[in-house]
A and B are shown apart, each in its own frame.
Chain A
Amino acid sequence: MSSVASGAIDHHHDSTTSTGISNKKLLMWIFLASDCMFFGCLISTHLIYRLHPPVGTPPASSIFSIELTSFSTFILLMSSLMMALAVNAIQKGNLKSMRASLVLTIICGLIFLGCQVFEFSEFVHVKHLTISNSILGTTFFTLTGTHGIHVLIGVIWLTTMLIYSYTGRLSEKDAIDVESMGLYWHFVDIVWIVIFTVVYLLEYI
């Protein structure tokens, strides 16, 4: 825990801090720990109401579309890969390669959001599940919508960073900024991993 700098300069060590972890990364990890509680409570709400649904609730599997959700899950997974590659690229000082990866991440994020918009409108207009007409709609739309907002914020952040990389605001030295953003983006992905299992898949068994 002392501030003695180690010999090799690498992206996992910041000699100006007591622990060697850079401030931004540490802040992001604590924030993600906090966000765990955030989504934990939201997912709990959904599960509690799914375990004790009011009489006459239709089975959720008759509303969900497993094909669409599997596709968007795959897309989000690929965006996570692209994000990891972007972080890897800027840590090696390869700004060009990072830009390409960031663009792909953004595209994947947008496809995911598009899928969600399509899914929501399908549910509302075809399946007649709205946010106010049943408890299933209430918890489902609130949970996945909150996740969607996280994705949207991530896409805005990614786009901002991409623009910064052209204006010079973001250079090779700022790998930590991209890395922190990456942590956020991967977190959004792992939340979806949980949602995909407990909200969607469990409804089919």
Chain B
Amino acid sequence: MSHSAVASQDHGTEHSKFELFVQIAMLLAVITGIEIVTVYLPFSHTALVTILMLSSTVKFLFVIFIFMHLRWDKPFCTVLFFIGMVLAGFTMWALLQVFSAQASIPLSSL
């Protein structure tokens, strides 16, 4: 994440980033494949949800840090994006919690 890393990246091996991108894309494709298969496995509901959430978080992080260059950029970009992401995640969580409270569930779907 520092300057020296950037400099060495640019002046060093020309093809390293190209190869890295291709490798990451393959990795993401593999994870997606695993996700699709996982759905049909006879695990418990909670385990499946956890696995899917974790794997999509991993994919998410790979894209933002590698494809979107956050790894090589100033950390400040990461901070900016995470402000939005964390707030959005928090708001989603809170909304789902509020709507799942017993008092909030509409009578028609009980």
A and B touch in the complex (CB under 8 A): yes
- Residues of A bordering B, CB below 8 Å: 6, 8, 10-13, 19-21, 25-26, 29-30, 32-37, 39-41, 43-44, 47-48, 51-55, 66, 70, 73-74, 77-78, 80-81, 83-85, 87-88, 92, 179, 182-183, 186-187, 189-190, 193-194, 196-198, 201-202, 204-205
Question: How far apart are the CA atoms of A116 and B106 in the complex, in Å?
Answer: 32
Do B74 and A52 touch across chains, with their CB atoms under 8 A apart?
A: no
Interface on chain B toward A: helix, strand, loop, or mixed SS?
Answer: helix
Instruction: Compute the total of residue contacts between A and B using a CB distance below 8 Å.
Output: 155
Do B36 and A70 touch across chains, with their CB atoms under 8 A apart?
A: yes
Chain B interface size range: 35 or more
Of B36, B60, B106, B109, which is within 8 A of A194 by CB?
B60
Do B109 and A196 touch across chains, with their CB atoms under 8 A apart?
A: no
Q: How far is the CB of A146 from chain B (nearest CB, A)?
A: 15
Q: Which residues of A contact B108 (CB under 8 A)?
A: 54-55
Do A6 and B3 touch across chains, with their CB atoms under 8 A apart?
A: yes
Do B56 and A54 touch across chains, with their CB atoms under 8 A apart?
A: no
What mask results when residues 54 to 80 of chain B are scored 1 for a CB within 8 Å of chain A, else 0? Answer: 011001100110111100111011001
Question: How far apart are the CA atoms of A75 and B80 in the complex, in Å?
Answer: 29
Of B3, B80, B88, B99, which is within 8 A of A29 by CB?
B80
Question: How far apart are the CA atoms of A48 and B25 in the complex, in Å?
Answer: 32
Q: How far is the CB of B54 from chain A (nearest CB, A)?
A: 10
Given A32-B81, A33-B83, A80-B63, A41:B18 Cβ within 8 A: no
Q: How far is the CB of B24 from chain A (nearest CB, A)?
A: 8
Do B92 and A43 touch across chains, with their CB atoms under 8 A apart?
A: yes
Do A37 and B53 touch across chains, with their CB atoms under 8 A apart?
A: no
Question: How far apart are the CA atoms of A106 and B87 in the complex, in Å?
Answer: 32
Q: Could you give 30 example pairs across A and B, Cβ below 8 Å?
A: A8-B3, A19-B76, A20-B74, A21-B74, A21-B77, A33-B85, A36-B84, A36-B85, A40-B91, A41-B92, A47-B92, A47-B96, A48-B99, A51-B96, A52-B106, A74-B32, A80-B67, A81-B24, A81-B67, A85-B21, A88-B21, A183-B68, A186-B67, A196-B32, A197-B53, A198-B56, A201-B36, A204-B39, A204-B40, A205-B49
Given A29-B80, A40-B89, 7 more A-B residue pairs with CB atoms under 8 Å apart are A25-B73, A29-B77, A32-B81, A41-B91, A48-B95, A51-B96, A80-B67
Residue of B nearest to A205 (CB): B48
Q: Which residues of B contact A30 (CB under 8 A)?
A: 80, 84
Q: Which residues of B contact A198 (CB under 8 A)?
A: 56
What mask results when residues 17 to 32 of chain B are scored 1 for a CB within 8 Å of chain A, else 0? Answer: 1100110110011001
Given A8-B3, A36-B85, A40-B88, A66:B36 Cβ within 8 A: yes
